[in-house]
């Protein structure tokens, strides 16, 4: 080991970046990550699927807003239901959503393990502040 490498190993900052990178590489190698990136690529290439998901998200937000405002959301809720059925029959979207959920479940499991071992909430402490929760 060179003097330079020795110094790097003893420097926790360098070492932390290195282990973070290695953990990232290990996640990228998982089936969950690979399947998600493939499904995401298909989704990005499929204009119809993107449009459908956009319409569904928009309709869901509208229904939520109308319910919060105590307005009659019956018609919009029916539209949302129809969009949901169309969405569920679209293979690109179901695969995209399903693989995303599986990858997130894996990342949460990892975070739980790290947090438990460190006795702190790793992701909660490091995620960027969105500001919506004050």
Q: Are 114 and 122 in contact (CB under 8 A)?
A: yes
Q: At what angle do helices 12-28 and 91-118 cross, to 10 degrees?
A: 150
Interface with another protein (CB under 8 A), residue from 7, 19, 54, 86: 19
Stretch that binds another protein, among 67-75, 77-85, 91-99, 111-119 (CB under 8 A): 111-119
Q: Does 62 bind another protein (CB under 8 A)?
A: no
Smallest gap from Cβ 89 to another protein, in A, equals 26
- Measured CA to CA, the distance from residue 122 to residue 127 in angstroms comes to 9
Q: Which is nearer to another protein, 35 or 90 (CB)?
A: 35
Residue for token pair 């179901």: 94
Smallest gap from Cβ 134 to another protein, in A, equals 9
Stretch that binds another protein, among 45-53, 72-80, 84-92, 108-116 (CB under 8 A): 108-116
Contacts of 33 (CB under 8 A, 6+ apart): 27, 103, 106
Alpha-helical regions (H) of 69-130: 74-88, 91-118, 122-126
Interface with another protein (CB under 8 A), residue from 6, 7, 20, 82: 20
């Amino acid at each position: 080991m060179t003097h330079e490498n020795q110094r790097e190993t003893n420097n926790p900052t360098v070492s932390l970046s290195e282990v973070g990178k290695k953990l990232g590489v290990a996640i990228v190698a998982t089936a969950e990550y690979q399947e998600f990136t493939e499904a995401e690529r298909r989704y990005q290439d499929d204009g119809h699927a993107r449009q459908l998901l956009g319409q569904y998200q928009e309709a869901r937000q509208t229904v939520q807003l109308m319910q919060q405002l105590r307005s009659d959301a019956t018609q919009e809720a029916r539209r949302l239901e129809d969009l949901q059925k169309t969405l569920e029959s679209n293979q690109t979207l179901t695969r995209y959503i399903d693989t995303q959920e599986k990858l997130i479940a894996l990342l949460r499991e990892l975070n739980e393990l790290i947090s438990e071992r460190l006795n702190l909430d790793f992701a909660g402490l490091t995620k960027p502040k969105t500001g919506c929760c004050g």
